[in-house]
Homo-oligomer: A and B are copies of this chain.
Amino acid sequence: MPRFSQETGRLVATLVSLADGVADLVRDGAVVALEGFTHLIPFAAGHEIIRQGRQDLTLVRMTPDVIYDQLIGAGCARRLVFSWGGNPGVGSLHRFRDAVQHAWPRPLELEEHSHAGMANRYVAGASGLPFAVLRGYTGTDLPARTDNVRPITCPFTGEILTAVSALRPDVTVVHAQRADRAGNVQMWGITGVQKEAVLAAHRSLVTVEEIVDELHPVPGQVVLPGWAVSAVAEVPGGAHPSYAHGYSVRDNDFYRAWDAVSRNRDTFRAWLDQHVHRAGAAA
Contact = CB atoms under 8 A, between A and B. Distances in A.
Interface of A: 128-135, 147-148, 150-152, 154-157, 159, 161, 163, 165, 217-221
B135 A133 contact: no
A151 to B, nearest CB: 7
Contacts of A134: 129
A221 B188 CA distance: 12
A161 B152 CA distance: 13
Nearest to A221: B219
B150 A131 contact: no
Chain B CB within 10 Å — which of A128, A131, A161, A221 has the most?
A: A131
A165 B151 CA distance: 18
A70 to B, nearest CB: 32
Contacts of A128: 135
Nearest to A152: B155
Top 8 A-B pairs ranked by shortest CB distance? A217-B219, A150-B155, A130-B154, A156-B165, A130-B157, A155-B163, A131-B154, A219-B219
A150 B156 contact: yes
23 contacts: A129-B133, A129-B134, A129-B135, A130-B154, A130-B156, A130-B157, A130-B161, A131-B133, A131-B154, A131-B156, A131-B157, A132-B133, A133-B133, A150-B155, A152-B152, A152-B155, A155-B163, A156-B163, A156-B165, A217-B220, A219-B219, A219-B221, A220-B221
Contact of A129 (B131, B161, B221): B161
Given A131-B156, A148-B156, 16 more contacts: A129-B133, A129-B134, A129-B135, A129-B161, A131-B133, A132-B133, A133-B133, A147-B156, A150-B155, A155-B163, A156-B163, A217-B219, A217-B220, A218-B219, A219-B221, A220-B221
Contacts of A220: 217, 221
Nearest to A147: B156
Contacts of A165: 156
A267 B262 CA distance: 79
Contacts of A130: 154, 156-157, 159, 161
A274 B112 CA distance: 64
